[in-house]
């Protein structure tokens, strides 16, 4: 009897184990035997992209910026051979996904965190997902091979086991070691540093800190290099229209209070800002033409503006390094200035699109080296045209991304005679129920051309 019971007990255990193992193998096989794109949808898009606030619906706060929904019902159609809203990517003839061509597929460039230098050089914006840990080696390689093999909607020959490789491509995300930007040699320049600050979980934090340059004498800067920790939305160095009654040096001024309301004093201090340098990418390196430089007066200070996004469950640090490279005064042929052309007298009726234009003319012959734009969230399209002269009406700048506006550098500066100038043509879509006018809060709007120029 003992032998009989032992036999059946052993047999029952074997059957149960086989059923359990078979069930697990069946589930794993089901996942791995799905078509390549379905795997991308279920294992990547649904978990890391089509989430609330990102690419889940047209009601997401960020939709006006990217215009891309990646839910299962529309993701494939929205990706294949479609243009991105990023102006620089469009100028480079990229598509969101160009079947068979990885280098021309904007999706791959944006998820590849190891391409940070490319993103910076091309003005493609930050790697995605912003404010969250990046995709793994296996996930990124799976998408690369899917695009390379033709980006089919169903079926596919990509090795499904790739997608199970969970090793992070760029370290362990926000917890990985951050390499500080190496400072210039003292003879070549100096480094500014915005020390680490905390960004709470599932929170966006934007701060301002006035910091001294530490220069006892005037400086001429012809190159600005920036590096930030992951999660940065943007960084801007501002100088001031009026140098009296400046914010306290070293004081951290949050744009919003802990309860989410706007910090009125911080917003008011922004009225005194003039763009000096900035970037929307984690790394950026801007160099002026030979002999051209920005002048920094002695004993100067900048207002550091850093905006971080944290969509993780834990706290993350923000941190910024800026290298300013000097040009000896005797080598400076041209002193460049910050362009700051603001339009404040416009009104946007509720519930409709409005095109707002403003013309700015130069009082002296002028050359423009760089252009960028600034609106708030209702800005859909920003166009800058030449006014006057033989190129009258020519479009020289166009951006459809209000949060990451194009920074356009001109190899050959735009030349203007006295009386000629630039016109901003901005399409606003006021989806609110009230009239919106120029103002400093996020519920108001702005229309500003920033850039660099010099007078001849």
Residue 256 has φ and ψ, to the nearest 5°, of -130, 150
CA-based nearest residue to 276, from 215, 330, 221:
221
Cα–Cα distance between 319 and 304 in angstroms, integer? Answer: 11
Indicate if the pLDDT at residue 208 is higher than 70.
yes
- Confidence category of residue 32, pLDDT binned at 50, 70, 90: very low
- Confidence category of residue 421, pLDDT binned at 50, 70, 90: very high
Query: Is there a contact between 326 and 217 (Cβ–Cβ < 8 Å)?
Result: no
Q: 253 versus 130: which is more confidently predicted?
A: 253
Determine the Cα angle at 225 with ends 91 and 94, to 5°.
15
Cα–Cα distance between 412 and 274 in angstroms, integer? Answer: 24
* Element holding 252 (H helix, E strand): strand 252-254
Query: Is there a contact between 194 and 288 (Cβ–Cβ < 8 Å)?
Result: no
- Dump pLDDT digits (tens) for 111-151: 886 655 555 556 677 778 876 777 888 888 899 889 999 99
Region 70-96: what's the mean pLDDT? 89
- Dump pLDDT digits (tens) for 86-115: 777 888 889 999 999 998 999 998 888 665
* DSSP-derived secondary structure letter, 182: P
Q: Is the pTM of this model over 0.75?
A: no
Pairing of β 448-455 and β 273-279:
unpaired
Euclidean distance between the first and final Cα of the chain, in Å? 108
Pairing of β 334-342 and β 292-296:
parallel
- Dump pLDDT digits (tens) for 173-197: 555 568 899 999 999 999 999 999 9
* DSSP-derived secondary structure letter, 84: P
Q: What is the pLDDT of residue 385?
A: 98
């Amino acid at each position: 009897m003992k032998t009989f019971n032992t036999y059946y007990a052993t047999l029952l255990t074997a059957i149960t184990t086989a059923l359990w193992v078979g069930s697990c193998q069946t589930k794993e096989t089901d996942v791995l035997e799905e078509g390549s794109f379905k795997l991308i949808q279920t294992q990547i898009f649904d978990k890391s992209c089509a989430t609330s606030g990102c690419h889940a619906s047209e009601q997401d706060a960020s939709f006006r910026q990217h215009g891309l929904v990646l839910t299962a019902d529309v993701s494939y159609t929205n990706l294949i051979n479609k243009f991105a809203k990023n102006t620089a990517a469009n100028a480079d003839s990229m598509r969101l996904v160009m079947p068979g061509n990885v280098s021309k597929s904007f999706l791959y460039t944006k998820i590849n965190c190891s391409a940070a230098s490319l993103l910076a050089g091309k003005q493609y914006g930050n790697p995605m997902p912003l404010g969250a840990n990046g995709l793994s080696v296996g996930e990124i390689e799976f998408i690369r091979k899917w695009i390379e093999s033709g980006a089919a909607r169903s079926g596919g020959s990509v090795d499904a086991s790739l997608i199970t490789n969970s090793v992070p491509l760029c370290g362990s995300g926000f917890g990985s070691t951050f390499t500080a930007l190496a400072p210039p040699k003292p003879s070549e320049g100096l480094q500014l540093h915005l020390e680490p600050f905390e960004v709470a979980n599932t929170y966006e934090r934007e701060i301002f800190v006035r910091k001294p340059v530490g220069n006892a004498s005037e400086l001429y800067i012809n190159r600005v290099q920036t590096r930030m920790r992951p999660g940065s939305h943007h960084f801007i160095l501002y100088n001031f229209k009026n140098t009296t009654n400046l914010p306290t040096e070293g004081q951290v001024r949050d744009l919003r209070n802990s309860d989410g309301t706007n910090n009125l004093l911080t917003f008011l201090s922004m009225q005194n800002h003039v763009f000096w340098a900035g970037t929307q990418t984690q790394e950026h390196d801007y160099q002026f033409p030979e002999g051209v430089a920005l002048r920094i007066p002695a004993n100067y200070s900048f207002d550091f503006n850093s905006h971080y996004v944290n969509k993780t469950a834990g706290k993350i640090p923000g941190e910024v390094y800026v290298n300013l490279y000097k040009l000896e005064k005797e080598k400076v042929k041209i002193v460049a200035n910050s362009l700051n052309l603001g339009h404040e007298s416009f009104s946007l009726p509720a519930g409709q699109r409005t095109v707002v234009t403003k013309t700015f003319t130069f009082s002296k012959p002028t050359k423009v080296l760089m252009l960028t734009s600034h609106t708030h969230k209702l800005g859909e399209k920003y166009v800058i045209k030449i006014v006057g002269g033989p190129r009258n009406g020519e479009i020289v700048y166009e951006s459809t991304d209000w949060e990451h506006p194009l920074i356009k550098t001109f190899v050959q500066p735009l030349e203007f005679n006295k009386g000629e100038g630039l016109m901003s043509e901005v399409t606003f879509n006021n989806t609110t129920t009230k009239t919106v006018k120029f103002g400093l809060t996020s519920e108001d709007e702005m229309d500003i051309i920033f850039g660099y120029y010099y007078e001849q």
